[in-house]
Amino acid sequence: RGDSARCGSSQTPRCFCVWIVFCAAAMACVPGFSLNCERKNFSSPYMSEQNYVRFRAIWALIFVVHGLYDQYTSIFIDEPSQSIWYYFYLTHQSRLVQSLGQLTEWMCARSFFKGEIPLAWISKTTMFCFVVGQPISLLVAVGYWLMVWSDLEDGK
């Protein structure tokens, strides 16, 4: 009948995610698209370029170490029989996309600090992760609190 393809009330989160991924992929795949490669865009009156690269490295390290620890404990320690379903959850997908985004942002900042222009695939991956990761994380946070709030109202 074709009704299942529409974004109805029960499919809104899934359709929203598909729409975000489609838009981000379309934007990241435009020929010649890259981040704004002017040096002034990667500076701050409060932080030197070297400190900015360090900040990005620390932030990427936090995301990656937290992700690896969570993945290790979830797959090998908590429930090994459920390990195949680890990336089924939107929470884990969101963290993976944001971790990749943090790594590529650090790579871009490091390239600028060296006086180079980042490779196009790094710029496109950074933009893709930023455009996809933020809305999905917001969706995860809102969905989580809506579920917690409904449990609190029910007295659980």
- Give the predicted TM-score (pTM) of the model: 0.65
* Confidence at residue 7, expressed as pLDDT on a 0 to 100 scale: 41
* Confidence at residue 148, expressed as pLDDT on a 0 to 100 scale: 72
* Confidence at residue 86, expressed as pLDDT on a 0 to 100 scale: 75
* Confidence at residue 91, expressed as pLDDT on a 0 to 100 scale: 84
Q: In whole angstroms, how far apart are CA 138 and each of 5, 37, 47, 135, 144?
A: 24, 28, 28, 5, 10
* Confidence at residue 6, expressed as pLDDT on a 0 to 100 scale: 43
In 3D, which of 151, 146, 20 has the Cα closest to residue 93? Answer: 20
* Confidence at residue 107, expressed as pLDDT on a 0 to 100 scale: 92
* Confidence at residue 44, expressed as pLDDT on a 0 to 100 scale: 65
Distance from C-alpha of 3 to C-alpha of 75, rounded to nearest angstrom? 37
In 3D, which of 139, 92, 124 has the Cα closest to residue 84? Answer: 92
* Confidence at residue 43, expressed as pLDDT on a 0 to 100 scale: 59
* Confidence at residue 12, expressed as pLDDT on a 0 to 100 scale: 47
Long-range contacts of 16-22 (CB under 8 A, 24+ apart): 16/135, 16/139, 17/90, 17/136, 17/139, 20/131, 20/132, 20/135, 20/136, 21/132
In 3D, which of 97, 116, 98 has the Cα closest to residue 53? Answer: 116
Which residue positions in the chain have pLDDT lower than 50?
1-12, 26-35, 37-38
CB 113 within 8 A of CB 50: yes
Q: In whole angstroms, how far apart are CA 19 and each of 34, 53, 132?
A: 21, 33, 10
